[in-house]
Structure 1
Amino acid sequence: MRWIHAAGRGLLVLLVVLTGYVASGARANEGAASGRGPLTLATAGDLTGYLGPLLEGWNRAHPGERVTLVELPDSADESRAQMATDLRDGDRHRFDVLNIDVNWTSEFAAAGWIRPLPRERFPLGTFLPPVVDTATYDGRLYAVPYVTNAGLLLYRKDVLAAEGVPPPRTWAELERYAGTIAPKHGLDGYAGQFLPYEGLTVNAAEAVYSAGGSILGDEGARVTVDSAAAREGIGFLARGVREGWIPEEALGYKEEESKQAFQDGRLLFLRNWPYAYVGASAPGSAVAGKIGAVPLPGPYGPGTSVLGGSNLAVSAHAEHPDSAARLIAYLTGERVQRQVLTRGALPPVRADLYEDPALIEAFPYLPTLRESVLAAAPRPKSPRYDQVSLAVQAVVHDAMAGRQTPEAAVRRLARELAALS
């Protein structure tokens, strides 16, 4: 009988162990059913190293929903390619939350790669209004704005003060100052980002928008670029190179090359993102303390910037969508958004931060940036945005290089965009 008692005790132990496993599995299944659990956040390279510490704060407070940060290449094109590969492969996906460029939202949504999100879960009413439009497609919210951006006109305030003129508000003033004042001071006149890449699409769209035109309508279903406004906008850029107040060297500029030219004291005016103001104001810059920033000029007054920045989206294959939404709400909350600016030097999306006196003292361009963002517009929305951008780059670069007239360039761009729709 002794062996029977021993067997009974063994059976009891086995039942206890099995009960523990079942309970543990039930808890795991409960977590999965609630949509909560660990996450992976994919982003382009974090050049300032600010994002890791922000996520550590989340991980300490949410040990059951820990986030692993995956940094992709700095290049937007390479990051997009890796994200797209992952999103297409539902069986082997790595990424749950994606920090995507604002102009990818429509493409990713139309492809079914990212989930629509409930508006009520996020503080959209606290954001600068135009940024929310970058996160929608076909009337639905598919991402949440995380960082915004708008182009500014940086200028040498010491040079303009010496000439007794204010910063330009119109293209005519910009052209006149760039063509006459800049040479007197041994400077080139004006530059933007004119190499055929995404930066040129932005500069071209800003020129077209500032003249009152557009490139696409109805979420990419309608081509609207064949207009007098588009001819005026592209003509402004082409005329600058032809007349010499845009140096030919600028046809090879991206963000960094153009920033360096201004920072080295070689340019009177520069169109760039706010980070260029920070770099040009830093110790060691040849123009530190000598620069100002105003909204981009247009034909008749202030122009229209294109919105930059990034949005946070949830992969259609994410296993823990509730945790993903909770993480996005955390990253777009006031405390974290403040750190996005102070630690990452990136423009936040929350409107109240642009009126904070302490932040304005540390980042003097904030009021100008707020004005620019409020007047800004998204890049052309299209499910085939990457091909739209390539067409814009190629055509506008040809016009600026003198290989095609602005009129012919606009007609050609209209044909190429129509072929994509």
Structure 2
Amino acid sequence: MRFRGRPWWLFAAGNLTGAALAASMFLIGPLAGPAELEAGELVILSGQDDSAGGQRQQLVNLWNDSHPRNPARIVTVPQAADGQWVEMANRAEDTGTDIFNLDVAWTAYFAKPPQGRRLIRPIDESLLAEKPDTAFMAKPLQTCRYDGELWALPFNTDAGLLYYRTDQGLKPPFTWAAIEKAAGRDGFAAAYTGQLAGYEGLTVNVLEAVWAAGGRLDVATDGRVGLDLAAWDEAMRRLTPRRQGPPVVLPESTTFDETGSRGAFQDGRVLFMRNWPVAYRAMRAGDQPQSGARVPFDVAKLPGHSVLGGQNLAISERTRKPRAAQALVEFLTSQRSQQILFDPGGFAATRAAVYDDETVKQKYPYAPLLREAVETARLRPVSPNYVAFSQRLHQLVSEVLTGRQPQLPRDLADQLTQALRGR
């Protein structure tokens, strides 16, 4: 059911957002929804909600208030990206899952896995109230397309930011040379921390360090990888904790994920931290450090391009309720939902209109910086074998960062090529 091209639930909600939207739905009361939607519960398989106030669940609650015939439920899988991928891939044959909240790098695998039939179904664009190309930002939407088809809609996007102490005379923009120069300051264990444990976060961090060093990662249509080892070696030099001299990278960073690195920054051990936007809202919202004293901070652009992160909502190939599942995906990725995810949740919005809102810009001065980071971010290799590529890459990088190997293998390009080719 649509009113002049708009979904019926947008017509009911009007122009309200956030708490007002919730209140409006409460006052309106439960809406049965279009009769053509298959009845029954909708299960969303997702990673943990890291927003400041559990905004993903709030959106599901709003859907449930107006869709008694199609109540939705989030099932959470392991927090780390590598564990999420394994769990979701294992459950892909389960007819009890209707929607996957996928990392943007996994679209190709779930659309056309190396073995077996597809795990998700294409979005039926004829049923969408808005054209995706005009509704969403270009980079997030690009991660939803593969091999000429639209397989998902962008739930939230992500781009790395550089967090820095504002009480230490540090002024952006920052280069790696500036970060290294700050090493050795009294009262700080090191200058910098990031996500350098052996998981997907390390792949992201090393690619960003390579691009900051002027390096490249080229992938041909046949999976052949091209790279410049000199720049990759320089990136390894920058990320590897020093055994001698002023500490640039905190040694414990090789065990850190997003939470661990945020803890080191909040506890005042480092001057700089690379992290995702949700860390900003978490620290501003009163998330207490171990030391009990909050540190003054702000965010700036990374020394180079960010990897584009985020999650996309895709419909399971095995669902028995494809129309209802697509309606829920459209609801969760609507402009109103994007506003709720960003304010107060802290998830980076996938729609430019959220960043253009004057209230948002006044309330969150870093919003224009975040939008620029998203628009200039770079995608990871697009391949059904991406996970194998990433696992091989962060294994090799970990060997260097922890001192088990003096440098990356000289045949790095060949090894990564084999991984992308599924060998």
Task: Give the equivalent residue in structure 1 for 2:414.
Answer: 415
1:279 paired to 2:282: yes
1:258 paired to 2:267: no
Mapping for residues 13-24 of structure 1, pairs under 5 Å: none
Mapping for residues 19-418 of structure 1, pairs under 5 Å: 36-38=38-40, 39-47=42-50, 48-87=53-92, 89=93, 92-111=94-113, 112-119=118-125, 121=128, 122=130, 123-160=132-169, 165-177=170-182, 179=183, 182-218=184-220, 221-238=223-240, 244-283=247-286, 284-285=288-289, 288=294, 290-297=296-303, 303-406=304-407, 409=408, 411-418=410-417
Shift of 1:403: 3.5
CA–CA separation in structure 2 for the residues paired with 1:214 and 1:110: 27
Secondary structure in structure 2 of the residue aligned to 1:158: coil
CA–CA separation in structure 2 for the residues paired with 1:186 and 1:86: 45
- Per-residue CA deviations over 1:8-59 (Å, capped at 9, x if unaligned) read xxxxxxxxxxxxxxxxxxxxxx97xx66333222212335433333223223
Shift of 1:402: 3.4
Q: Residue 189 of structure 2 contacts residue 250 of structure 2 at CA under 8 Å; is this kept in 1?
A: no
Shift of 1:268: 0.6
Shift of 1:307: 1.2
Q: Residue 82 of structure 2 contacts residue 199 of structure 2 at CA under 8 Å; is this kept in 1?
A: no
TM-score, scaled to structure 2: 0.80
Name whichever of 280-289 and 270-279 sits farther off. 280-289
Q: Residue 241 of structure 1 contacts residue 247 of structure 1 at CA under 8 Å; is this kept in 2?
A: no
CA–CA separation in structure 2 for the residues paired with 1:336 and 1:305: 25
Q: Residue 113 of structure 1 contacts residue 315 of structure 1 at CA under 8 Å; is this kept in 2?
A: yes
Shift of 1:183: 1.9
Shift of 1:282: 4.2
CA–CA separation in structure 1 for the residues paired with 2:228 and 2:211: 13
Q: Residue 220 of structure 1 contacts residue 380 of structure 1 at CA under 8 Å; is this kept in 2?
A: no
Secondary structure in structure 1 of the residue aligned to 2:167: helix
Q: How many residue pairs are counted as aligned between the two chains?
A: 373
The change in CA–CA distance for 1:212 and 1:113 in structure 2 (over 3 A counts) is: farther
CA–CA separation in structure 1 for the residues paired with 2:398 and 2:295: 34
The structure richer in helix per residue is: 1
TM-score, scaled to structure 1: 0.80
CA–CA separation in structure 1 for the residues paired with 2:193 and 2:66: 46
Shift of 1:261: 0.6
Q: Residue 280 of structure 2 contacts residue 346 of structure 2 at CA under 8 Å; is this kept in 1?
A: no
- Structure 2: gaps spanning 5 or more residues: 1-33
Larger Rg: 1
Secondary structure in structure 2 of the residue aligned to 1:63: coil
**Identity rate, percent:** 36
Q: Residue 102 of structure 2 contacts residue 314 of structure 2 at CA under 8 Å; is this kept in 1?
A: yes
The change in CA–CA distance for 1:281 and 1:272 in structure 2 (over 3 A counts) is: same
CA–CA separation in structure 1 for the residues paired with 2:149 and 2:58: 32
CA–CA separation in structure 2 for the residues paired with 1:119 and 1:372: 28
